[in-house]
Amino acid sequence: MSAGIVDLPSPWQALLAATGSLVSSGGLRAVIPPLWTSYPTLGQGSAAALPGLRSDVAARVAPAGSVPGWLLAFLQLLTEGALAMLRELDRLLEVAERGRALTISCDRRSRLPEVIDAVLRVPVLTPKSLAAQLAIAPQTATALLRELRAAQLATEITGRRSFRAFAALV
C-alpha cells in the first residue's frame, strides 16, 4: 500500500486484513479476537457508535493526525472488545461465586462442584458431553444440570425436550 500499487483500504477492510494475517500466521487458534466482539455495535450503527479513545490517549497515539484512520478504528474496536470481555468475565465470576455458595452445603462426594466448573469453562454444555467429561451416566448429568437450572446458575438454551444444551446464567 505504501508503494501506491493499491488504494488505501477503509478501516474495516484493514481490520479484516489484519485479522486474516493473524489467522494465517497461526497466532489465533480457538480464541476469537476481542475486536470481533464489537461487531454487534457496528451492526447497529456506524463507527461513531464505538467508544472513542480518550483525548490524551488519542493525542499520544496519533499526534496531529499522523496515524491512518484504520489504526484508530482498530484501536476503537479493540477497546470495545476488551470492555465486552470484562463484562463477560464479571458475569462468569458472579456465577462462580453463587456456585461456590451452593456447594458449601453439598456432600463431599457430590459431583456438583465439577459440574459448575464445567458450565463455567464452556459456552454450551450438553448432558452427553458432561457425562463423557465426568465419566457418569447421561441421566446423572441431566439431573445435575437440572439442579443447576433450579439454582438459577444455568439455563437451558435450546428450548427442546430432547438434545438439550445448557449455558451459565446470571
Query: Tens digit of pLDDT per residue, the chain (170 long)?
Result: 455 566 766 666 666 677 677 767 776 654 455 555 555 555 555 555 555 555 555 556 566 566 666 666 667 767 777 777 888 889 889 999 998 888 888 777 888 889 898 888 888 899 999 999 999 999 999 899 988 888 888 888 888 777 888 888 86
Lookup: cell for 107:
456432600
pTM of the model: 0.59
Domain ranges of the chain: 11-86, 109-168
Beta bridge partners of 156: 166
Q: Would you state the pLDDT for residue 30?
A: 45
Its CATH class, for the domain covering 109-168, is: mainly alpha
- Residue owning grid cell 435450546: 158
| DSSP line for 87-147 | HHHHHHHHHHHHHHHHHTTS-TT-SHHHHHHHHHHSS-B-HHHHHHHHT--HHHHHHHHHH
Residue environment code for 97-113, b if the CB has 16+ CB neighbours within 10 A, otherwise e: ebbeebbeeeeeeebbe
Q: Would you state the pLDDT for residue 74?
A: 67
